Amino acid sequence: MTSKTLQKARDYEVKMEEKIAEESRPAFHLSARVGWMNDPNGFSYYNGEYHMFYQYHPYDAYWGPMHWGHAVSKDLLHWEYRPVAIAPDMEYDKDGCFSGSAVTLPDGRHLLMYTSVERKEEADGVVRDFQTQSVAIGDGMDYEKYENNPVLTAADLPEGCSRYDFRDPKMWQLEDGSYLCVIGNRPADGSGQILLFSSPDALNWKYEKILDANNNRYGKMWECPDFIPLDGKWVLLTSPQDMLPEGLEYHNGDGTICMIGSFDETEWTFTEEKNQAIDYGIDFYAPQTVLAPDGRRIMIGWMQNWDTSGHHPKED
């Protein structure tokens, strides 16, 4: 069932899209249907097409309450817009549907997992954003939020993990049919870390361990993780906030780093061996990868970052 909030966003983007001249859009890169976009989300191959969702505020050219925009492509060059997939229309996500990922379920349905944000006042009188994880299931066009959302909350976190910086789930399916998921988090020292969760069905999740910890090496909060096997190694991707330069590396304060190493798939333990920047330009953030049908590992990132996006309050 389509909520009023979702339908409003869908109607708005159709109306405003008519005012955008085709020649004003990039010829190669996917742009927002209307309004603002940032992180790619739910990058997946489903029913013969690549699906690209993205952080989306259709009502303005500035960041705002996050929706998930949606586009599909058969070749990653020519994109067709689809209606807004999810909108902040539930109490637990009323302040934003933040970044996440997608998998195909055994019954053929498409499952999206995203960070749900609810702003609440605490006992000390301070209003804070509580970040939880929720899912929506659909057919590649329309998605319905799970009745038991959120599927991960602060109650599932070990002591010392932030409930305010707990976001960007990236999940994948194992050979036995179960699922793993990495999620960015901020520990008590203010540094970043990547948490690992497991699930038998992509709905019921439990905490397993800290997959990797920043320990104040590279920036602060580690956002938008991805964890993939590649050429005999495992690669942990993440986008740290406020990195400082290290030699010739990391001169982009909000860039993307990869840790390359080994992963014990029995103990679920990752051992770092080396690290490097993903891109040496100033505009590459929050990438996601997908395993294509032909075996290629394809990456797409936000061609912008928080340093260069102009994300700040508008002046009257």
**Catalytic positions, please?**
39
Q: How far apart are CA 146 and CA 138, in angstroms?
A: 10
42 alpha carbon, distance to own chain's centre: 7
Q: How far apart are CA 202 and CA 253, in angstroms?
A: 34
Peptide bond just before 187 cis, omega within 30 deg: no
Q: Which two tokens stand for residue 112?
A: 């999206």
Alpha helices in the chain (DSSP H): 4-17
Torsion, Cα of 215, 219, 225, 231 (10° steps): -80
Closest of 198, 194, 167 to residue 181, by C-alpha:
198
Residue type (1 letter), 204: N
Q: Which two tokens stand for residue 130?
A: 């509580």
